[in-house]
Amino acid sequence: MKYFKRLLKLALPFRNKFLLAALCMLVVGAMTSSLAFLIKPALDDIFLKKDVNTLKWLPIAVIVIYLIKGLCNYSQTVIMSYIGLRIVNQLRNRLYAQMQKQSLAFFSQNPTGILMSRITNDVSLVQFAVSEAITSLLRDTFTLCGLIFVIFYRDWQLALIAMVVFPLTIYPITKFGKKMRSVATATQITMGSLTSILQETISGTRIVKAFCMEKYENERFAAENERLLKFNMKSVSIQAISGPLMEFLGGIGIGAILFYGGYNVVQGNSTPGNFFSFLAALLLLYEPIKRLTNANNTIQNGVAAAERVFSIIDLTPDIEDKPGAAELPPVSRGIDIENMTFRYEKKPVLKNINLSIKAGEVVAFVGMSGGGKTSLVNLIPRFYDVSEGRIRIDDYDIRDVSLRSLRGQIAIVTQQTILFNDSVRNNIAYGNIETSDDEIIGAAKAANAHDFIMRMPQGYDTNIGELGTKISGGEKQRLSIARALLKNAPILILDEATSSLDTEAEREVQEALDNLMKGRTTLVIAHRLSTIRNADRIIVLVNGEILEAGDHETLMKKQGEYFRLYNLQFKDEGSDEKNGRLAKDMG
């Protein structure tokens, strides 16, 4: 129950409200017990003795009791719901913030749908455990205590007989609680998988339709949904059986009490009012006990969810600032990669890389897929950390400076353009939201984006849809270039920024990229080799190692791997001369 204790600790800042709610619940328990207590004077004094005075005050007392009980019930419900919702609000914020701290490796290992399920479904289950279950525990415990007092006050001998039944109820509550937690964990895992399928198929709906895989995806979703149904039915079965079992055990006790209590009334050892007051209190005990059983099931659900939530909150990020990390000053000299090796999940991706990049230099990385190009540039902003060696920027080991100051000096434009479901203006200003309209428009013009933006319905205030679905690929890319221009970072990473565009879009984007690259230290990953002919240096990576380095002319004369790749890309032209002309035209 350590996770439940951690949830309770989150309630400490609300202890004054919690105490007020507990007081209200105590009053609710007392009022419920009072109703059972008043049955004796109702029967003995009104119906048997015909006492008019009792007839006058007793109905008023019942009305007042119900009024007080209702007000206190309302107050404790509102207060406990506020506490539960506030705790969940904080927990969700902490969970989201912790996810934001994690490295790219974390997101590679955890599907998006699973993480979404943690923040939505699991945290909601925690709320039920905190607010509803704790409310039931306190309110029904107070009610039980009050009713037990009544039954012992009315007839202690009958009360002892009733108490024999209570130990019989403890075992099934404990047994069902353990089963409930196990089923709850499996249910939440399956819900995460279902959410993951939803996220994948909705975001990838074009591919699903293009490959006519609707039936396959329907079957995959249905299979996972069937698993969820089975776990939910197990949960329902466990909850459903607890009530009837409690009723059966209670029925045994009530049957014995009816016989013994009725015998005492017949023998004149007790009055009808006394016996029925006792019986009413005993019957009223059933509902609190039943709710406590359900509360235990809810708590087990919440604890299982809390365990999954805290497993992420407690996760130490792979990459974080060192204590006392320095601020990286504006880049002036360049980037040095020294004896660097990088492994991903123990698999070597880059091996013994040594490379110096001067400030303002344009360096392109080429090679076959899987050669380590993207991994290398991802190490510069510390999306991952090197396994051996080091990367320095102006003599600062990037692991010794703060992530904010490091990444603040790096702008990235990738093949997979990430835009947000927001206005054009806010997408360009992302990362610098306080910038002026003139600066936003200036960046858009430099990115060749201003004209198409002005043709949109609301211009810069037009919403571009989720992931920019309302605009074309070339337009998305130019918006991402405008965003990078506005950041005005001294280091620029271009990861196949034009590879997915047609010739016309590529021409416009390439012109925007040329504007972006001016005066910046630029690292380019190029699929189309024609786009990097004018790079200061071209680095050829093969199997995670630098095989060749030099400018375009030097590498072509060498007739090594770069020469092979270049001719392989333009082999249909038939000669190096034609290749060169084609490359010039495309560039």
**298-312 per-position pLDDT tens digit:** 777 778 888 888 888
Pairing, β 362-366 against β 410-414: unpaired
Residue (of 13, 16, 37) closest to 280 by Cα position: 37
**174-183 per-position pLDDT tens digit:** 666 667 667 7
- With cut-offs at 50, 70 and 90, classify the pLDDT of residue 158: confident
- For 49, list phi and psi in degrees, rounded to 5: -90, -10
Q: Looking up tokens 């605009």, which residue turns up?
A: 471
- With cut-offs at 50, 70 and 90, classify the pLDDT of residue 203: low
Take residue 581 and report the two structure tokens written for it: 């002309």
CATH assignment, 2-186+239-313: 1.20.1560.10
Residue 352, pLDDT score:
92
Residue 586, pLDDT score:
31
H helices present in 267-359, as ranges: 272-313
Numbered ranges of CATH 1.20.1560.10 in the chain:
2-186+239-313
SS3 sequence, 112-148? HHHHHHHHHHHHHHHHHHHHHHHHHHHHHHHHHHHHH
**68-118 per-position pLDDT tens digit:** 989 998 998 888 888 888 888 888 888 888 888 888 888 888 877 778 878
Of all residues in the chain, the percent with pLDDT exceeding 70 is 86
Hey, what long-range contacts does 557-565 have (CB within 8 A, 24 or more apart)? 561/367, 562/366, 562/538, 565/366, 565/367, 565/368, 565/529, 565/540
CATH number for 331-397+527-587 (one of 3.50.50.60, 3.30.420.10, 3.40.50.300, 3.40.50.410): it is: 3.40.50.300
Contacts of 237 (CB under 8 A, 6+ apart): none
**130-151 per-position pLDDT tens digit:** 777 777 778 888 888 888 888 8
Q: With 50 as the cut, is the pLDDT of residue 508 above it?
A: yes
- Cβ atoms of residues 63 and 32 within 8 Å: no
Q: With 50 as the cut, is the pLDDT of residue 214 above it?
A: yes
Q: Determine the Cα–Cα distance for residues 467 and 362; give it in Å rounded to an integer.
A: 29
- The distance of Cα 361 from the centroid of its chain, to the nearest Å, equals 40
DSSP code string of 303-323: HHHHHHHHHHHTPPPSS-PPT
Numbered ranges of CATH 3.40.50.300 in the chain:
331-397+527-587
Residue 577, pLDDT score:
42
